[in-house]
Structure 1
């Protein structure tokens, strides 16, 4: 999941020209050639030594292009100064990753999730969850002090990828009269859970599962739990698997 990994490491900043100020006819020919290969040119920025920088997005990844002073050649990759500072990080974060993270968060908000905790909790955490996932259950247990105290609401984006009956069990949770209670009972019971998969999944519920799976695939995720949260700077962060105690505090906040 390369784009998420970049989101974890880049910082905000830089004076940049947004894509709204760039028109296709104004892009230099070498940059247009890169665009024709499938890259989306997001914006431009100033670069040293006569170079002109362009931030681009390609298959959920950010990349920087540097047009040479003669306007005839393009360098692809990160640019470093004499002190070893990565001069490409800030433009990528500002123009590519920050907007992408907002888009991902909005998609998760609009996904088919089951709430776990107070709707007015000051912190929201999303996780892609499979009913047969032991690490999802472990994270559920880890989060109880925060959830029970009203500090965090977990939002379980239900998918079915681990076992053959996983889709049916996720469907049963989504179709329950009280999904929040049914999920709580299932997680509380652990291996002793009596949750039964739906033998026939209604079309409306199947559509919800399909949408969740499509989002998971878009984010290039392959395992559960995949946990998403906003850090103290409001930047999107991601954790794969049940977190360690120190990581848990970063995800859920202070007790």
Structure 2
């Protein structure tokens, strides 16, 4: 589509990860610069409809866009996404914006604010069909499902601190289930598949995979020399695909990601690292 290609060329569409030192300020009344307003008007001609906007970091304007252009690939069925536009209106930015000082994923927070309410939440029975590793059973009907990738440093922190909280009894009767995934690293994909295909000692393997170094390519090759391990890999690959399909279905593009479930099947979602004590209140955890 030449006209779209020309538009992207002129806008210099940037898909990248941006690291900043300031947070998002969502103003009650925010008027973008005129060049940004002009750009937003043009975007509708190319299958990108702006349905909301907000003040972003470092003079950027955040927009909630609904995309109908088939050339723009967005995971999941939801075609809404967070973009940012620079003050000149020349650059359309997509990706992660990380506040290094506060250790916050600002795009994830904006997505939770502007996109989450449009998503359907799963039922407890659907979550129970995922390929998970149970760390602690539930005694109070409350569960925490945590999606984690072994190559993600924030996921590793989540695993480490959740493990410590469980060992100290800080979660009370709340159950914890890890949902291992891999977002593309070949070694991680193989290691996670082997984990999910294993029936015995899965928790120990999970802790080792997420807290120790990722197995080397040579180690994984040696493991897969036997037909038995190849069958384990095949079974685990199918389980991993089930977990990834869930992420795509609910338009979840980043980890760690958590879903909590109460006995009344009431859900809450958490994007990015979340301290173990933040999922439920003290009284709820102890029940």
What is the TM-score of this pair, normalised by structure 2? 0.46
Select 2:238's aligned residue among 190, 198, 207: 207
Show CA shifts across 1:43-77 (max 9, x none).
xxxxxxxxxxxxxxxx569xxxxxxxxxxxxxxxx
Equivalent residues in 2 for 1:1-255, closer than 5 Å: 100-101=120-121, 103-118=122-137, 120=139, 122-148=141-167, 149=169, 150-176=172-198, 177-189=200-212, 192=213, 194=215, 197=220, 199=224, 202-230=233-261, 235-243=266-274, 245=275, 248-254=276-282
Retained in 2: the 8 A contact 1:125–1:154?
yes
CA drift at 1:164: 2.3
Give yes or no for contact 1:231–1:250 (8 Å, CA) kept in 2: no
1: CA distance, partners of 2:201 / 2:264: 35
SS in structure 2 of the partner of residue 217 of structure 1: helix
Change (3 A) 1:119 1:173: farther
Match of 2:29 in 1: none
Consecutive aligned runs of 4 or more in structure 1 exceeding 6 Å deviation: none
Q: Secondary structure at the match of 2:186?
A: coil
TM-score, scaled to structure 1: 0.51
Rounded Cα–Cα distance in structure 1 between residues aligned with 2:265 and 2:123: 13
Q: Deviations over 1:181-231 (max 9, x none)?
A: 111233343xx4558556556332221111111111001011111111136
Root-mean-square deviation (Å): 3.2
Aligned partners of 2:280 and 2:203: how far apart in 1? 19
